[in-house]
């Protein structure tokens, strides 16, 4: 079976790639000696000696604009496939390559040892994605999880939780995660991820983007944590032009393209937030360990129960938990009428990471809050979700 498929008219590059595979990788190489790429990936796969390879290499002399187009289409239709492009690593091209879902860039002059490293990395990524996508592909719908992060009160660290969920999931499914900032007037996802986005939600809900998912993906911002971000508009005035119907369509599109869609919302229950919640597969409720936050969460949950729009899978997070503030977990649970699922202690490291714009899960940091954040991220791992749902809600310890 050919795990690796190469498209290039460069015979010398083909020889080096085959040497790289023969040097310790299982599987073979199938080469198409041409610089032309098909309009539809299915045309390529129909010519192969198996249904689908693990890694596709677009070698020297393949036009880079065509390589970007083809990789973008592949990333939508076959997200687990690893794509490597032979090109010089120019900054502008690197940015476009990440947006297109290309896994790595190989210098056209790379030797066999360098190519072997890239092929191993792409194969590992394929294996990881194949494992995590399999449970979803067996389900009735192939759409990704839509994880909404909500809180009736502001100031409880909702955006910090959302950005860390996205970064954590980026380690489980690289480049298969997108975070959307739906706090359209005063969203902080861009600052929480230290991004200066060229495009925002305003562009993503345009007519062109709503009709073509490839156009939509061009409006996403790539983050070094192997995720995409769609940030809030730069000014509150722009938010007034965005409707709930547009947000509904946006989330539907993203869930068809990504394994995980993380939605950060505005405090309270605005109309945009309710529209997003109706599309969520999971809702993360964030509360501080104080009476106003807990009462606000109870009121919000009561309203949503009456409206009957609360997703079945919910996760209640106690953020900035402190055992010395006079409240207990039992107090909080009896007030909101639901168990606390994850407790994240008050942390200087988390506060520092928020101010730096680098989520604490992005770097190797030792801190008590890391355990709680990882426990929250793990709840969206297909392997965890396949376990008995009796473990979905367990009492935490502060």
**Total tally of structural domains belonging to the chain:** 2
Domain boundary among the residues 107, 133, 159 is at 133
- The residue among 322, 262, 326, 312 whose CA lies nearest residue 287 is 322
φ/ψ of 314, rounded to 5, equals -125, 155
Sheet holding 282-287, edge to edge: 221-223, 227-230, 177-182, 260-265, 145-150, 282-287, 313-321, 342-345
User: Is the CB of residue 278 less than 8 Å from the CB of residue 309?
Assistant: yes
Question: Do 206 and 308 fall within a single domain?
Answer: yes
pLDDT of residue 311: 67
Question: Do 87 and 14 fall within a single domain?
Answer: yes
- Which pTM was predicted? 0.65
Cβ neighbours around 66 below 10 Å, total: 13
pLDDT of residue 139: 43
- 268, two tokens: 């309270």
Does some domain include residue 184? Answer: yes
Question: Do 314 and 352 fall within a single domain?
Answer: yes
Lowest pLDDT segment from 121-130, 275-284, 332-341: 121-130
Question: Do 368 and 277 fall within a single domain?
Answer: yes
Question: Do 172 and 219 fall within a single domain?
Answer: yes
pLDDT of residue 133: 47
Per-residue pLDDT reduced to its tens digit, 35-46? 998 877 777 777
* Residue 224 DSSP code: T
Question: Do 128 and 256 fall within a single domain?
Answer: no
pLDDT classification of 73: cutoffs 50, 70, 90: confident
Question: Do 126 and 150 fall within a single domain?
Answer: no
Q: For the chain, give the mean pLDDT.
A: 85
Does some domain include residue 366? Answer: yes
Question: Do 360 and 330 fall within a single domain?
Answer: yes
pLDDT of residue 387: 67
Q: Strands 55-58 and 2-7, how do they pair?
A: parallel
pLDDT of residue 165: 96
Does some domain include residue 188? Answer: yes
Lowest pLDDT segment from 23-37, 183-197, 228-242, 305-319: 305-319
Q: In the predicted model, is pLDDT for residue 376 greater than 90?
A: yes
Q: Which residues contact 377 (CB under 8 A, 6 or more apart)?
A: 164, 165, 168, 169, 172, 361
Query: Between residues 301 and 182, which one has the greater pLDDT?
Result: 182
Span 127-141, average pLDDT = 50
| Cα–Cα distance, 13 to 19 (Å, whole number) | 10
| Cα–Cα distance, 398 to 392 (Å, whole number) | 18
The residue to which tokens 């709503």 are assigned: 210
Q: In the predicted model, is pLDDT for residue 136 greater than 60?
A: no
pLDDT of residue 140: 38
Q: In the predicted model, is pLDDT for residue 397 greater than 60?
A: no
| Cα–Cα distance, 89 to 106 (Å, whole number) | 8
Burial label for 92, CB within 10 Å (0-12, 13-18, 19+), is exposed
pLDDT of residue 130: 53
pLDDT classification of 390: cutoffs 50, 70, 90: very low
Domain boundary among the residues 99, 133, 167 is at 133
Q: In the predicted model, is pLDDT for residue 308 greater than 80?
A: no
pLDDT of residue 235: 87
Does some domain include residue 395? Answer: no
Cβ neighbours around 371 below 10 Å, total: 13
Does some domain include residue 396? Answer: no
Question: Do 157 and 98 fall within a single domain?
Answer: no
Query: Between residues 377 and 395, which one has the greater pLDDT?
Result: 377
Question: Do 170 and 253 fall within a single domain?
Answer: yes
Which residues are paired to 127 by β-bridges?
A: none
The domain of 252 spans 145-380
For residue 312, the domain's CATH number is 3.40.50.300
φ/ψ of 112, rounded to 5, equals -65, -40
User: With pLDDT > 70 as the criterion, what percentage of the chain qualifies?
Assistant: 90
For residue 73, the domain's CATH number is 3.40.50.2300
Cβ neighbours around 311 below 10 Å, total: 16
Domain boundary among the residues 133, 168, 184 is at 133
Question: Do 191 and 324 fall within a single domain?
Answer: yes
Span 52-61, average pLDDT = 88
Question: Do 241 and 118 fall within a single domain?
Answer: no
Does some domain include residue 140? Answer: no
Does some domain include residue 139? Answer: no
Lowest pLDDT segment from 19-33, 127-141, 321-335, 384-398: 127-141
User: Where would I find the H helices in 205-269?
Assistant: 207-211, 213-218, 236-239, 244-257
pLDDT of residue 127: 67
| Cα–Cα distance, 277 to 310 (Å, whole number) | 7
Angle, helix 158-172 to helix 368-378, in steps of 10 degrees = 60
Does some domain include residue 387? Answer: no
Per-residue pLDDT reduced to its tens digit, 216-235? 988 999 998 889 999 999 88
Lowest pLDDT segment from 45-59, 157-171, 283-297: 45-59
pLDDT of residue 232: 93
Q: Which residues contact 81 (CB under 8 A, 6 or more apart)?
A: 52, 53, 54, 55, 56, 74, 126
């Amino acid at each position: 079976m050919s795990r690796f498929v190469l498209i290039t008219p460069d015979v010398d590059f083909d020889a080096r790639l085959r040497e790289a595979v023969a040097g310790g990788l299982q599987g073979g190489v199938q080469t198409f000696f041409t610089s032309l790429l098909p309009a539809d990936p299915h045309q390529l796969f129909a010519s192969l000696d198996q249904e689908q390879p693990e890694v596709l290499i677009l070698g020297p002399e393949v036009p880079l604009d065509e390589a970007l187009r083809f990789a973008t289409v592949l990333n939508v239709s076959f997200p687990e496939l690893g794509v490597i492009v032979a090109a010089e690593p120019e900054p502008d091209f690197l940015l476009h390559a990440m947006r297109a879902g290309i896994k790595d860039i190989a210098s056209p002059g790379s030797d066999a040892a360098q190519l072997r490293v890239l092929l191993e990395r792409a194969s590992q990524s394929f294996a990881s994605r194949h494992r995590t996508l399999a449970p979803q592909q067996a389900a009735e719908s192939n759409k990704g999880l839509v994880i909404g992060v909500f809180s009736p009160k502001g100031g409880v660290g909702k955006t910090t939780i959302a950005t860390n969920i996205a970064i954590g999931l980026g380690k489980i499914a690289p480049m298969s995660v997108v975070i959307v900032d739906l706090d359209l007037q005063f969203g902080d996802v861009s600052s929480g991820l230290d991004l200066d986005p060229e495009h925002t939600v305003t562009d993503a809900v345009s007519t062109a983007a709503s009709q073509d998912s490839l156009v939509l993906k061009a409006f996403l911002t790539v983050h070094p944590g192997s995720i995409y971000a769609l940030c809030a508009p730069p000014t509150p005035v722009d938010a007034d032009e965005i409707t709930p119907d547009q947000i509904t369509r946006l989330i539907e599109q993203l869930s068809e393209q990504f394994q995980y869609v993380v939605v950060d919302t505005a405090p309270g229950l605005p109309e945009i937030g309710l529209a997003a919640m109706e599309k969520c597969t999971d809702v993360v409720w964030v509360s501080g360990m104080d009476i106003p936050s807990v009462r606000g969460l109870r009121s919000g949950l009561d309203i949503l129960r009456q409206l009957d729009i609360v997703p079945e899978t919910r996760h209640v997070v106690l953020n900035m938990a402190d055992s010395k503030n006079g409240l207990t977990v039992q107090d909080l649970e009896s007030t909101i009428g639901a168990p606390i699922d994850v407790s994240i202690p008050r942390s200087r490291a988390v506060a520092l990471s928020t101010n730096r714009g680098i989520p604490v899960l992005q770097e190797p940091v030792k801190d008590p809050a890391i355990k709680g954040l990882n426990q929250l991220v793990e709840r969206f791992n297909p392997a965890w979700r396949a376990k008995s749902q009796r473990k979905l809600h367990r009492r935490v310890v502060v």
